[in-house]
Structure 1
Amino acid sequence: MANLSLYTVRAVVVMDGDGNRLIAKYYNRGQNVQSYKTLKEQQKFESELFSKTRKSNSEIVLYDGQTVLFKYVNDVYFYLVGNPEENELLLGAVLNGLVEAISQLLKYNIDKRSVLDNLDMVVLALDETIDDGIALETDPNAIAANVSKRGVDTIDVSLSNFNEQTVMDAYKLAKERFNLALLR
C-alpha cells in the first residue's frame, strides 16, 4: 500500500558550480525519517550529492535512499530531494516550476551572482512553491506573480520622495501607509 501523504519534499538545495551552498531548506515534518538535523550532516549530504551529480547526464538519481532531482543552469545547481516512493513526475514539475519562476524573476539571467543579489525573491519563490514539504504550486507564472505581488505590498520609502516633502508631510504619509497596511 502506498503511503498517501502531502509531504512530498524533504529538501531543496541550491548550490553554486563549486558545490557551495547558496540556499538550503530541509523539511522534516510528516517524514518517517528525521534526517539531516544538524548543519554538519546537511553539509556532508550536500557535498556527497554534488560530487555524485556534478558530472551526471541524468536529471534524477536515487541517493541515500531518497529520490533526488536536479537541474543545472549556468553555474547554479538546483536540487529537490523527495521521498523514495514519490512520483518523479510530480517532483519534476515542482522543480521545473521553481527554476522557471526564478528565471522569470531574475529576468532569465540565473547565475550565482544574480541569485545572491536577489536572494529575497528566490527564497520567496521557494516558499510560494513548497511549504513545509508540501508542494503548493508548479506553475512558474503563478509563482512569479505571487512573488512580484508581494513586492507591491511593501511600503515605498525612497529618499527622493522625502526630499520633496517637509518632515510633517513625511510623517503623515508614513502614518497613512502604516494604517493602510494594518487594515489589509
Structure 2
Amino acid sequence: MARRWLPAILAVLLLLSACQSPNTIANLPEQLAKKQADLTSYQLHLLLEQSDGQQLAIHQWYQAPDRLRTDVLQAGTTTYQFFLRGDDLTVRHVPSGQQEQLRLSSETALFTTPLLLELWREAQGATWQESEERPTCYLGEFAWRDLGGEPKLGALWLNRQTLLPEEVTLFYGSTQVLRLCMEDITLNPVLEEQVFHP
C-alpha cells in the first residue's frame, strides 16, 4: 500500500519545488519585499569596521512592529545597550549601570534602526549585478544619505539563496569607509519580552 503512495507523494513534492521561483536579479525587489513582509522578528550579530581600524560588534534583536534592542560591544565587552519601544529610547551604559531616556536622532540612527529591515529596503532600490568574486552573492549598489544629508554610495553583498545580507560597505567623506560584516542572522525567532527591557 505504501509503495503505491510513494510515487504520488514524490510527484507532488517535485511539482511544488518546480513552482517556487528561484531568486534572480530580475525578481529581487519582489522577493525582498516578500521576505520583509513575512518577517516578525530577527536576531543578528555583525562586526562593524571603520576606516581607522576601530571595530565594534553589534548584536540586535527586533520584534515587529516596534521593539528593538541593540548591544554594542568593544573588545568583547558590552559597553552600550539601546532599547527602543515605539519612540521611547532608553540608552544604558553597561560598565557604570547608568541609563537615560533620549530622543531619537541621527546620531543614534545606527543603533536605533532595525538594520535588517533597512538593508532590505535599500536592496529593493539597488542596482544589482552578478559577481565572479563571490558567486554565491549578488552585488548591489545603492545611494544613502550621511548625517549631513549628503548623498553617498553604498555596496551590499546579498546571498543568492537566502537573500540575507552578508556585507555592507558605506562610503562617506573623501576616503572614509564603514563596513558591516554579518556574522549570524536568525529570522523569526521567538523572543522573550524581557529581551526588550533595560
Give yes or no for TM over 0.5: no
TM-score when scaled to structure 2? 0.26
TM-score when scaled to structure 1? 0.28
Identify, as 1 or 2, the structure richer in helix: 1
Identify, as 1 or 2, the structure richer in strand: 2
